[in-house]
Amino acid sequence: MTHDNTGSVRGLCMGGRPMAPRLRAGAPRLTRCVVARLLAELPVYAELPQEEVAGDIAGIVQHSLRQFADVLERRRPARPDEFARQRDSAALRAEEGVPLDAILAAYQIGAAMAWEELTAGAEPADLPAVQEALGYFLDFQRLLISAVSAAYLEVRQILDSQEHGGRHALMTALLAGETTGHRPAPRYAVLTLAFAPHPDEAGTGQRARIAARRKIRRVRTVLDEVADEPALTVLDASGGTALLPFSAGWEVLHDLVARAAKAADTQITAAAEITGPAGIPAAAMQTAEIMDLVRRAGRPPGLYRLADVLLDYQLSRPSGALAGLAALLAPLDRKPELLRTLERYMACDLDRRMTGAALHVHPNTVAYRVRRISALTGLDPARPSDLQLLNAALVARRALP
Q: Mean per-residue pLDDT for 293-312? A: 86
Closest by alpha carbon to 194, among 290, 102, 276?
A: 290
Beta bridge partners of 244: 189
24 shares its domain with 144: yes
User: What pLDDT, on a 0 to 100 scale, did the predictor assign at position 162?
Assistant: 59
pLDDT at 190: 96
Q: Give 118-146 pLDDT, tens digit per residue.
A: 888 888 888 999 999 999 999 999 999 99
Mean pLDDT of 47-53: 80
- Structure confidence by residue, pLDDT tens digits, 256-282: 999 999 999 999 999 999 999 999 999
Helices (H) and strands (E) in the chain, counts: 17, 7
Range ranked top by mean pLDDT from 27-36, 92-101, 312-321: 27-36
Instruction: State if pTM tops 0.75.
Output: no
Residue 4 has pLDDT above 80, yes or no: no
388 C-beta neighbours (distance < 10 Å), count: 12
Q: What average pLDDT score do residues 62-79 get?
A: 92
Rg (CA), the chain: 30
CATH number of the domain residue 277 falls in:
3.30.70.270
Q: What is the mean pLDDT of residues 314-340?
A: 83
Which has the higher per-residue pLDDT, 262 or 5? 262
Q: Which residue has the higher pLDDT, 394 or 267?
A: 267
Q: How many residues does the chain have?
A: 401
Look up the domain containing 287 and give its range: 183-308
In terms of Cα–Cα distance, which of 115, 101, 18, 13 is closest to 64? 115
Instruction: Dump strand ranges (E) for 276-334.
Output: 302-304
pLDDT value at position 5?
A: 46
Q: Confidence band (pLDDT; 50, 70, 90) for 7?
A: very low
Q: For the segment 223-257, what is each residue's pLDDT rounded down to a tens digit?
A: 999 999 889 998 888 999 999 999 988 889 999 99
Is residue 68 assigned to a domain? Answer: yes
Whether residue 188 is found in the same domain as residue 301: yes
Residues 27 and 136 in one domain: yes
Please answer whether residues 237 and 195 qualify as being in contact, where contact means their C-beta atoms are separated by less than 8 angstroms: yes
CA distances from 129 to 6, 218, 298, 343 (A): 21, 46, 69, 76
For position 70, what pLDDT does the model report?
A: 93
* Same domain, residue pair 148 and 282: no
> Is 99 found in the same domain as 19?
yes
Chain-wide mean pLDDT for the chain?
A: 87
Asked whether residue 177 is domain-assigned, the answer is no
Inform me whether the pLDDT recorded for 320 exceeds 80: no
The confidence score (pLDDT) of residue 161 equals: 65
Domain count along the chain: 3
- The answer as to whether 5 is a domain residue is no
Same domain assignment for residues 86 and 141: yes
136 and 211 fall within a common domain = no
Rounded to the nearest 10 degrees, the angle between the axes of helix 58-74 and helix 100-119 is 50
* Residue 106 domain-assigned (yes or no): yes
Residue 329 lies in a domain: yes
Q: What is the CATH number of the domain that holds 381?
A: 1.10.10.2840
Same structural domain, 122 and 38: yes
Q: Report residue 314's pLDDT band, with 50, 70 and 90 as the boundaries.
A: confident
Query: Which among 47, 85, 36 is positioned nearest to 63, based on CA atoms?
Result: 85
CATH code assigned at 31: 1.10.490
